[in-house]
């Protein structure tokens, strides 16, 4: 390949680092070369920051290379201690160059903006608004969502064949990475909130023509998908006929497979724009692979539950050694009943979810593996080259994310449990577990439908982040289940940023389980309880999800994202969460809090019940974001009351009903003002109750009362701090 045929980011990166690459050791230089080749062959893992080809090529190259090295080579259980030592040094090398180029980009933007203002002033005698720096904003967002993981970069050699060279690299990483801690935490609420605000402003600045083009593309996608559905459903029936009787006979397996069947046509229709084969049976390989991954996930989770991390690591060393990995299509495919007995686990031990024993689940997986092999051979014979290799990479990456959860606790000495790990290190794990798994799956699916994944790179990245946003609310639903032993967006944020809320979750763990031996998922009643009792944690989860969405979603993805949030957290009616028991701590709390508000209107009672709880949260309750959160809490319990407040504006009704998560806080505050003014008499009763509150919550309660009075008067609320209220007393 000639230099002119190389991607712009690769040319720019090599040219910029020509002299500095000589300072790298032989191992680091080799890893750099391997990483650039891997990104050249899988361009959907390159994150273009500019609007046009070649724009911000160097920053794009540095960031994409750093993310590739960081997400592929920092776990010694997946690679080796020697490889990890090189990856740590190269990651820190790229981080420094990245930040240097980001500073240079900011200087260029300031100079260009200054020159543009001077030009406009000389021509028209006035200044206009500057265009948002989308390159800088995209970089800042990706850098915040994928920060350098300090524990991974500074870990001592604690596993495998640790060498003195690797130990020295770890110590060197600590010295060179000290600046990672000096900077503000990019995952802190203020940092994430600032990025959300910048994206809202950037989206608001879009021209009407840009909006129209996006909406037209969305409608074309819907029509194209609708006309393609008959072909997709016919293909689905062809593929399903290949399933074995044992798989067809397990209802949980088929329930899981049915969900996968539904997702496949959506990906083909909306990610690949219905351009691939709609009838070919080869797409079944992707369906069967995803089913195997889901079932194997349950097997590994139960192995960890019964054997512990050390027991599973013992199985890894014997049945998944590095010398054997290239010969295995699927990790642990060689696991047997005898292997379980030798590890101290009876094969007859049940796996409740699939209603089978360990031995039974392994038999089902053996059936599915044989089916995968047969369908893969059929696909390659039909001309889909490289499927087996890509399938193997997919399975080994998925298993690598399980190994992450065995490795991470060993390097985070201050953490006691898996849900208390440093945020940046867990964010690294979540990107591997969500984004990369989904992108690898979709790239495999593209090949099986006759497409080149490189032609759909942005769509693969967008839908990878869509899965990540789904993980956020799934984790919120699992705060009781994951507490103490599972990485979880909400729990990780609470443990790191809001320890008092993490403690509250631990104190109410048994109460939330409803008397069962194991804690269950969050019920519909508990959503409002959690909104009121751990609001900073829930709000931070909202912010993270909104940042991902505003950063990269098109309108179609925004609608899908909003719909899933409403089904999981934003709406009680027909929610995916289960109904709770008739008597529960959550119901008792809400009933008592409504009775205490006693405004005479159910929706307003709920508003003040949650509002009173928020006054003890420890931060200001009168900011726009917190008031918007209050509106959403009311809408969860009383959707009709909030929808009626949008009328007579069809646009306001439509936006709140279908794009609730995307709406900026200011728009929700305007809707809250309408809701309050519709029920002004009941609201005044609630305000009087707030003013009568005593104790340490009194300043916050009075600040909220004053803000609500201002809204009743038809004016925008001014943020009032508790200190202001104390000064009035």
Question: For residues 404 and 357, is the Cβ–Cβ distance under 8 A?
Answer: no
Structure confidence at residue 727 as a pLDDT band (50, 70, 90)? very low
Q: Which two tokens stand for residue 188?
A: 């802190």
The residue whose two tokens read 């009763």 is: 685
The per-residue pLDDT for range 459-512, each reduced to its tens digit, is 999 999 999 999 999 999 999 989 988 899 999 999 999 999 999 999 998 777
What integer is the mean pLDDT of 283-301? Answer: 95
Q: Please give the pLDDT value at position 22.
A: 87
Q: pLDDT exceeding 70 applies to what percent of the chain?
A: 90
CA gap 371, 375 in Å, rounded: 6
Q: Is the confidence at residue 192, as pLDDT, over 80? A: yes
Q: How far is CA 678 from CA 306, 395, 571, 647, 696, in A?
A: 56, 56, 22, 11, 31
Q: Name the nearest CA neighbour of 612 among 525, 679, 703, 543.
A: 703
Taking CA 320 as the corner, what is the angle to CA 319 and CA 322, rounded to the nearest 5 degrees? Answer: 135
CA gap 288, 260 in Å, rounded: 9
Strands, DSSP E only, in 619-700? Answer: none
Q: Please give the pLDDT value at position 226.
A: 83
Q: Please give the pLDDT value at position 128.
A: 54
Q: Please give the pLDDT value at position 517.
A: 65
Q: Is the confidence at residue 179, as pLDDT, over 60? A: no
Structure confidence at residue 169 as a pLDDT band (50, 70, 90)? very low
Q: How far is CA 84 from CA 69, 73, 148, in A?
A: 10, 6, 14
Q: Please give the pLDDT value at position 542.
A: 96
Q: Which residue has the higher pLDDT, 287 or 168?
A: 287
Q: How many CB atoms lie within 10 A of CB 237?
A: 9
Q: How far is CA 514 from CA 353, 519, 534, 709, in A?
A: 20, 8, 19, 40
Least confident range from 56-65, 116-125, 373-382, 575-584: namely: 116-125
Q: Please give the pLDDT value at position 51.
A: 85
Query: At residue 65, what are phi and psi to the nearest 5 degrees?
Result: -65, -45
CA gap 199, 552 in Å, rounded: 10
Question: For residues 126 and 116, is the Cβ–Cβ distance under 8 A?
Answer: no
Q: What is the DSSP secondary structure assignment for residue 350, as one 8-state letter?
A: E
CA gap 627, 610 in Å, rounded: 11
Least confident range from 2-6, 538-542, 716-720: namely: 2-6
Structure confidence at residue 610 as a pLDDT band (50, 70, 90)? very high
Q: Please give the pLDDT value at position 177.
A: 40
Q: What is the DSSP string of 523-550?
A: PHHHHHHHHHHSHHHHHHHHHHHHHHHH
Residues whose CB falls within 8 Å of the CB of residue 673, separated by 6 or more in sequence, listed in order: 711, 714
The per-residue pLDDT for range 410-459, each reduced to its tens digit, is 887 665 788 988 899 999 999 999 999 999 999 999 999 999 998 888 99
Which secondary-structure segment (H or E) carries 357?
Answer: strand 356-357
pLDDT averaged over every residue in the chain? 88
The per-residue pLDDT for range 152-162, each reduced to its tens digit, is 998 644 444 33
Q: Is the confidence at residue 80, as pLDDT, over 60? A: yes
Q: Please give the pLDDT value at position 117.
A: 72
Structure confidence at residue 718 as a pLDDT band (50, 70, 90)? low
Q: Please give the pLDDT value at position 64.
A: 96
Q: Which residue has the higher pLDDT, 475 or 279?
A: 475
CA gap 644, 654 in Å, rounded: 12
The residue whose two tokens read 């500019």 is: 50
Q: Is the confidence at residue 317, as pLDDT, over 60? A: yes
Q: Please give the pLDDT value at position 717.
A: 67
Q: Is the confidence at residue 42, as pLDDT, over 50? A: yes
Q: Which residue has the higher pLDDT, 165 or 238?
A: 238
Taking CA 638 as the corner, what is the angle to CA 573 and CA 708, rounded to the nearest 5 degrees? Answer: 150
Q: Tally DSSP H helices, then E strands, for the chain.
A: 36, 2
Q: Please give the pLDDT value at position 5.
A: 58
The residue whose two tokens read 């008499």 is: 681
The per-residue pLDDT for range 643-701, each reduced to its tens digit, is 999 999 999 999 999 999 999 999 999 999 999 999 999 999 999 999 998 888 899 99
Q: Which two tokens stand for residue 167?
A: 């130990």
Q: State the chain's maximal CA–CA distance in angstroms.
A: 84
The residue whose two tokens read 């209050």 is: 630
């Amino acid at each position: 390949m000639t230099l002119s045929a190389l991607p712009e980011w690769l040319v720019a990166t090599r040219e910029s680092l020509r002299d500095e690459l000589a300072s790298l050791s032989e191992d680091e230089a080799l890893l750099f070369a391997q990483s650039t080749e891997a990104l050249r062959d899988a361009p959907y893992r390159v994150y273009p920051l500019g609007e046009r080809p070649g724009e911000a090529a160097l920053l794009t190259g540095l960031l994409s290379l750093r993310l590739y090295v960081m997400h592929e080579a920092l776990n010694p259980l997946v690679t080796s201690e020697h490889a990890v030592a090189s990856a740590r040094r190269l990651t820190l090398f790229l981080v420094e160059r990245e930040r240097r180029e980001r500073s240079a980009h900011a200087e260029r933007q300031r100079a260009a903006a200054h020159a543009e203002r001077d030009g406009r002033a000389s021509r028209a005698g006035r200044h206009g608004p500057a265009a948002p720096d989308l390159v800088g904003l995209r970089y800042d967002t990706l850098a915040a969502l994928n920060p350098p993981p300090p524990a991974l970069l500074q870990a001592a050699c604690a596993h495998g064949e640790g060498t003195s060279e690797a130990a020295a690299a770890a110590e060197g990483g600590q010295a060179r990475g000290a600046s990672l801690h000096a900077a503000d935490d990019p995952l802190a609420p203020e940092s994430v909130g600032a990025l959300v605000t910048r994206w809202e402003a950037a989206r608001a600045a879009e021209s009407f023509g840009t909006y129209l083009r996006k909406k037209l593309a969305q409608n074309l996608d819907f029509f194209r998908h609708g006309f393609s559905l008959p072909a997709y459903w016919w293909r689905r029936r062809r593929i399903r006929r290949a399933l074995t009787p044992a798989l067809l006979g397990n209802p949980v397996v088929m329930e899981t497979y049915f969900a996968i069947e539904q997702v496949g046509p959506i990906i083909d229709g909306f990610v690949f724009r219905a351009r691939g084969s709609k009838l070919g049976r080869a797409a079944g390989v992707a369906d069967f692979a995803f089913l195997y991954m889901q079932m194997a996930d349950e097997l590994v989770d139960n192995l960890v539950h019964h054997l512990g991390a050390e027991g599973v690591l013992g199985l890894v060393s014997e049945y998944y050694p590095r010398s054997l990995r290239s010969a295995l299509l699927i990790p642990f495919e060689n696991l047997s009943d005898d292997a379980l007995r030798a590890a101290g686990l009876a094969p007859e031990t049940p796996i409740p979810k699939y209603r089978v024993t360990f031995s039974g689940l392994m038999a089902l997986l053996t059936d599915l593996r044989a089916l995968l092999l047969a369908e893969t051979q059929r696909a390659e014979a039909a001309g889909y080259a490289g499927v087996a290799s890509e399938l193997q990479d997919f399975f080994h990456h998925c298993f690598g994310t399980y190994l992450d959860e065995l490795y991470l606790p060993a390097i985070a000495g201050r953490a006691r449990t898996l849900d208390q790990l440093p945020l940046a290190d867990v964010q690294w794990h979540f990107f591997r577990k969500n984004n990369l798994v989904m992108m690898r799956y979709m790239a495999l699916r593209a090949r099986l439908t006759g497409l080149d994944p490189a032609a759909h790179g942005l769509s693969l990245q967008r839908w990878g982040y869509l899965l990540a946003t789904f993980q956020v609310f799934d984790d919120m639903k699992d705060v009781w289940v994951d507490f103490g032993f599972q990485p979880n967006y909400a729990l990780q944020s609470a443990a790191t940023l809001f320890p008092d809320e993490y403690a509250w979750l631990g104190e109410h763990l048994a109460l939330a389980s409803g008397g069962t031996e194991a804690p269950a998922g969050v019920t519909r009643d508990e959503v409002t309880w959690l909104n009121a009792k751990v609001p900073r944690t829930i709000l931070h989860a909202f912010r993270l999800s909104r940042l991902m969405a505003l950063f990269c979603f098109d309108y179609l993805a925004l609608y899908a994202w909003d719909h899933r949030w409403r089904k999981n957290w934003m709406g009680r009616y027909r929610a995916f969460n289960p109904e709770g028991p008739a008597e529960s701590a959550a119901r008792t709390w809400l009933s008592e809090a409504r009775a205490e508000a006693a405004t005479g209107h159910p929706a307003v009672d709920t508003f003040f019940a949650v509002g009173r709880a928020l006054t003890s949260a420890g931060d200001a309750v009168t900011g726009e974001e917190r008031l918007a959160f209050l509106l959403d809490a009311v809408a969860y319990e009383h959707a009709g009351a909030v929808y009626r407040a949008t009328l007579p504006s069809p646009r306001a009704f439509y936006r709140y009903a279908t794009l609730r998560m995307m709406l900026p806080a200011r728009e929700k505050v305007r809707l809250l003002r309408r809701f309050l003014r519709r029920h002004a008499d009941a609201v005044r009763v609630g305000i009087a109750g707030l003013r009568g509150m005593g104790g340490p919550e009194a300043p916050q309660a009075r600040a909220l009362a004053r803000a609500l009075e201002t809204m009743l008067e038809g004016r925008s609320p001014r943020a009032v701090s508790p200190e202001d209220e104390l000064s009035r007393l």
